[in-house]
Structures are given as C-alpha cells and as structure tokens.
A and B are shown apart, each in its own frame.
Chain A
Amino acid sequence: MSEYAIEAAGLRRTYRSRTGWLRPQRREVEAVRGVDLTVGNGELFGLLGPNGAGKTTTIKLLNTLLIPTAGTARICGFDVVRQTREVRRRIGYVFGGDRGLYDRLSARDNLRYFAELYGVPGREQKRRIAELLELVRLAGRENERVEGYSRGMRQRLHIARGLLHRPRVLFLDEPSIGVDPVAARELRQTVADLAATGTTVLLTTHYMAEADELCGRIAVIAGGRIQALGTPAELRHHADGRRVLEVEAYGVTDERLAAIHALPRVREASLEVIGAAQVLAVQSDAGVDVQADVLRELDGVRLGRVTARQPTLEDAYVAIVNRVDERRSPEAVPA
C-alpha cells in the first residue's frame, strides 16, 4: 500500500481552444501551473481557491478525466495517465450543482446503474444501495424520480453514487454549493463520518467555515499554483499582526470598494453579500485604526453594525489570494 493516497508533482494543464472558421483565433489558458501536493491515507484535505483558480482542473487531473500537460500524479500509488483503470477502481467523484444524475430515473435506479458501471458485484448491489440510501437520508424517497428532488437531496444522492464502490479516495468538488444551511450541515456531517471510516477525502470549497471545520490540512490555490498549505491554524498566521474592521452596509459599489482598498494603511478589503446586506471586511495592521477613513469613503451608503475583530481563516484566505492578484495585475495591464 502506498504511503500517500494522492501524490502530485509539478502538475500542469494548459487548455487550448480555437474559435471561428474564417479567421480562427487560438487561445491558451494555463489553468494549473505546477501543483505539488501529497495527501496521506485517511486524510481530509481541503483545496480552497477563488473561481478559475484551478481547483476543478486539478481534481480532473487527479481523477483521470484529464491528462496533465506536464508533471505526474498518482492515486494510491497508481499513475493517473497510464493506470487509469486501477485509479478509477479506487476513486469516487462528487461535484456540486443540479446536474450529474439521470432525472428520469429514481434514486434507486440511478444507483443501480452506477453500481453496474463501477463494478459493484450483483449480489452486493441491493444491500449496498440500501446502506447508502440510509446513510444519505434518502431511504423512503428512493423510488421517486430524481427530477422532483431538491438540490440538497440531489447532492446527497451524488455522495451516495460516489461511495457505491467503496472508494479509497473521494473527490468532493464544491459539494455544498447552493445547498441550504441545514442541508449543508448534514452534508458536512456525512463527510466527517466518511473521513472517520478511513476514506481519504479531497474537498474543494468556497466556504471557509466548512474547510475550517472539516479539513486537517488545507491548500490555497490561486493562479493555478498552490499559494499556501498547512493546517487551518497555520494558515491563519497569514493574517497575523492584522485587525479586521467589519461594516454591515447596503449598496457598496465596486468603485467604493476599490477606493477603500486603495486607502493608505488598508491591507485588504473584501465584500460579501449575506441576505439583503453586504458585509465589508477591511484588514489593516494591528496597531492601525482605519475606521474613520473607511466610513468617510462610505459616505452616503446606508450602514448597519460596525465592529472590529481578530482575523479568521477567511481573512487569511483573502490575504493569500489578494497577494496573488496583486502580483499578477501588472501583467494584465498592456504596456
């Protein structure tokens, strides 16, 4: 048995596309630019990053759906390019969203079909499907067509499908996207239970709280590269020596956010929409108070609660990702 469940070294992937017939335009996008990581057996590992950071491409390279442009990857010691069948026997893949299931079939028939595809022996199928329906709390609804399922139910069915053949490594690509808070909490519990049984889980997510709660180690990926890797506590150090001013507001425009970010002594500024309100998080050095300057920039905007707090994992994540954006932005400006 290999020491690591997942190993990647110098993994790169470039997408090449061509558009137009008369004057074809070729485009190259380097989605993954040299990812190195190892995930131990039974580890619950998080891969965090903004949209377009390379998370899904990395997963598709590891689960054999894509071939790397350069570099190597192994799952349970098997090469993802040359030993695809061995790799596929050992992995499960779950992604978020509404698609990925046969809408016209019931949950049971979806699982029956994928049980055939993933090689679950016939005599085991019935028992395994019943077990999984119980695990993801779909027992009793298994004979209904999937087209009538809520997103949370679909998501749980995705997980059941991913576990049919008892994979040693499970890739969860943003499994809680668009799922309501109660369903998301149930989902997290299911993932935690899986890890407890020894399944290696690689989880990608946008939700810091989710990663913080579940993952033993987290890699932050941005611009196609791993920018930081460590335990949640270690990652929090990226925001050490800072304080965060949090302002609840209604109607902060991108221009105002940019103006706040450009204020002297402001290190980071990010905006999150929560219900009808926006929450503006402004990071500065610990000994510096930027509240007056920020509120001046927000003149005319309806404001709610204003608080100062210690940095969280999310603040550390914003700091890491923004650092990458700042390094890359000069390249984007034409000379």
Chain B
Amino acid sequence: MTDLFRLVGTGGVIAYRALFNWTTPAMFVGTLLVGPLFQLLFFAYLGRQLGVADDRFYIVGNAVLAATLACVFGGTMAVSNERRFGTLGHVLLSPRSRTAVFLGRVLPYAGNGLLIAVTTLTAASFLLGLRVPVSALPALLLTLAVAALSCGFFGLALGAVGLRFRDVWLVSNVSVALLLLLTGVNVPAAELPAGMRVAGQLLPITHGAEAARRLVAGEGFGSATGPLAAEVAVGLAYAVLAAALLKIFEAESRRRASLDTL
C-alpha cells in the first residue's frame, strides 16, 4: 500500500515536473494567473455593458473556469509530452497499475487548478469589489477543489486520446473553448439552446460553478450540496472514462502498433 501511495504521490509530482510545460515562474504567472484574470475582467466589464448578469456571476464563474487551463492542458501534457521525450514506451513497460500511474498525475494538476482559481477569485474580488462571506470560505475552497479535480480527470481523459492520436492538442484547444461556452460560466445556462445546456451538464465545472455561486451569494452549504454532488459524479465519470481509455488505447497500441505507425 505504501508503494502505491509513493507511486501516486511522489511519482505524480516528479511526472508533473517532467512533463508540465509551464513550471517556470514567468510561464506559470503569465499563462495561468495573469491571462485568466484579464479574461475575467473582460467578461465582467462586458457583462456590465450588456446587463446580462452581475459581477458576482462573472467573477465566480471565471475563477472556476481559470482552473481548466492547467487541468485540461496538464492532462494532455501528461501523455503527449511522453511522446515528445520518447519516454512513452518506457512508461508502458512498467509492470505497475496504469490507473495508479496516470491518475496520480492528475493530483498536481488539480492542485494547480485550485491555486489558480483561488488566486483569480481573490484578485478579482479586490479589483471589482466582490464581498465573499467569510463563513462560506471553507465550503467554497472544497467546491473549487472538487471542480479542479473533476477538470483534472477530464483533462486526463483527453490526454488518453493522445495514446491513439498524435494531434491531441487539437482536442484540448476545442475542449477549452467548449468549457467557456457550455458550462454556464459566462453565458447563463438558461440562455443556451437545450442541446447545449444538456452538453454543459456533462462537462466538468458546470455544477462546481453553480455551487460556488450559491456559496458566494450566502445561500449556505445546504443549497450547494446538490450541484457539488453533481460535480463529484461528473468528475468520477471522467476518472473512469480516463482509466478505460488508457487501458483500451494501450492494448490497441500493442495490437495495431499505433505508437509506432503514427
């Protein structure tokens, strides 16, 4: 059991340092902290102009969305950078559980996502004057953590596609755009066509953003448990999907030599 924890914990952290592209301070701050903050400000001012929703809607929604960049691209890097370094074959030769190896990689990305969401929310609250009830902070932190983890599993499921298709960045780029559009962080879900609304329900952070908004509005933890549970369910579903895809694509790589012929 200790060995399993080491694989997930120590292994996950070393893999993060090896494979995540934005670990230097300049890249981390510029790409993951400053960029999302400006995006938040853009939507908040646009929202004020159009009168669609108040600042709280955009600040909380975009703070949760900020976590997606690290999680979605992190999950993709966790697999596709193995190809870049030529290490994928060595990882696949490991006798250890693939689920433990790759799910362990999600934790640092989810931690990253949580840090980014908290930083973005704090900075935007100061800049735009949003007051978050102190009593809501522990539950809000939990909600952001769940959303980041759920998004991390989503990213890993996308990364698993990288075992089969070389151009997996295309999938990640489209996914980030879809999260912006469909999760109700910037466009109220009620305003979306029915199909898009349903698709949004199946994506990570949709329910997390809803739960966070209720907590910041001072509605209490009880009102947030429903969407929070839904976010946990979505995250678990993506974790299972990621594990299944990794297993299927690895088996296919042995059968069809897809890692060699791609």
Contact = CB atoms under 8 A, between A and B. Distances in A.
28 contacts: A13-B257, A15-B257, A15-B260, A15-B261, A16-B256, A17-B261, A63-B93, A64-B254, A65-B93, A88-B95, A89-B95, A91-B93, A97-B86, A99-B85, A100-B85, A100-B89, A101-B87, A102-B19, A103-B85, A104-B17, A109-B14, A109-B17, A113-B11, A113-B18, A116-B7, A117-B91, A119-B3, A119-B94
Contacts of A109: 14, 17-18
Interface string A103-121: 1110001001110111101
B254 A66 contact: yes
Given A15-B261, A112-B14, A102 B87 contact: yes
Contacts of B14: 105, 109, 112-113, 116
B134 interface: no
B97 to A, nearest CB: 9
B86 A100 contact: yes
B86 A114 contact: no
A114 B90 contact: yes
A67 interface: yes
Interface in B96-127: 96, 101
Contacts of A113: 11, 14-15, 18
Nearest to B84: A99
A122 interface: yes
A119 B92 contact: no
Contact of B90 (A17, A100, A119, A121): A100
A328 interface: no
A122 B7 CA distance: 10
B17 A119 contact: no
Contacts of A99: 85-87
A117 B254 CA distance: 19
B49 interface: no
Contacts, number: 88
Contacts of B94: 88, 117-119
B135 interface: no
* Most B CB within 10 A of own CB, among A63, A67, A161: A67
Nearest to B9: A116
Contacts of B10: 112, 116
Given A114-B90, A116-B6, 8 more contacts: A63-B93, A66-B254, A66-B260, A100-B87, A109-B14, A113-B14, A117-B7, A119-B95
Nearest to B18: A102
A85 interface: yes
A93 interface: yes
A113 B259 CA distance: 22
A64 B261 contact: no
Contacts of B259: 65
A179 to B, nearest CB: 17
A112 B12 CA distance: 12
B85 A88 contact: no
Name the interface size band of chain B: 20 to 34
Interface in B204-262: 253-257, 259-261
A297 to B, nearest CB: 41
A93 B93 contact: yes
B11 A101 contact: no
B18 A121 contact: no
Contact of A105 (B11, B17, B89, B101): B17
Contacts of B89: 65, 93, 100
Nearest to B253: A65
A32 B254 CA distance: 15
B7 to A, nearest CB: 5
A290 B255 CA distance: 51
A114 B94 CA distance: 8
A113 B15 CA distance: 7
Contacts of A102: 18-19, 85, 87
Contacts of A114: 90
Contacts of B260: 15, 60, 66
A104 B84 CA distance: 12
B87 to A, nearest CB: 6
B238 to A, nearest CB: 24
Nearest to B97: A85
Contacts of B96: 116-119
A99 B87 CA distance: 7
A66 B10 CA distance: 29
A317 to B, nearest CB: 26
Nearest to B5: A122
Contact of A122 (B6, B18, B90): B6
Contacts of B3: 119, 121-122
A113 B78 CA distance: 14
A258 B11 CA distance: 55
A16 B14 CA distance: 36
Interface in A70-103: 85, 88-89, 91, 93, 97, 99-103
A117 B14 CA distance: 11
9 nearest A-B pairs in the assembled complex, by CB-CB distance: A99-B86, A102-B18, A117-B94, A88-B95, A116-B11, A113-B14, A100-B86, A67-B254, A89-B95
Nearest to B83: A99
